[in-house]
Structure 1
Amino acid sequence: MRTLIGSRFTHLGREWVLHEVLADEGVLVLSDPSDNTIIQANLFGEPSRKGPETVLIPLFGQVPDSLSEELLELLANKISR
């Protein structure tokens, strides 16, 4: 999965960039590639800084040793450049 970092995908009708693979947490982090920023919260839920909007995609499904439906859909919507 790490080889896909920087790749662009369509998700929820928008374009996103694969920003990071958090294997320990079992998620992919997608970020908005535009210059738009949002106020991001810290661990306590308090506003702390501006940054790109991010979305977390689970790696694994409910069935053991399976990939999540969200991940499979994301991979099917990779944008070729």
Structure 2
Amino acid sequence: MEDKEIQAYIKYLENKFPDETLKSLSIIIDGKDVNLDYIFQTQNFEKIRKITDYLVGTLNRFNNAKAAEESDRVKYV
């Protein structure tokens, strides 16, 4: 298989899954069929919480009023 064709398969996967990063790709040719076995890199995720009616991961982007509202709220344990 030519390098140009391999790059086309990689580009196809990148377009089909734009938010993923390709870790490995195995191309298996079976007659006229081509099977693609691929693995994406695991993604780190940020914990999202609902604070003062906003979905946030951290409070660092809150302005002074929202930060004060968060510190004044009643926290249930």
TM-score by length of 1: 0.23
Give the number of the structure whose residues are more often strand, by fraction.
1
Structure with the larger RCO, 1 or 2 (CA within 8 Å, 6+ apart)? 1
Give the number of the structure whose residues are more often helix, by fraction.
2
TM-score by length of 2: 0.24
Rg larger for: 2
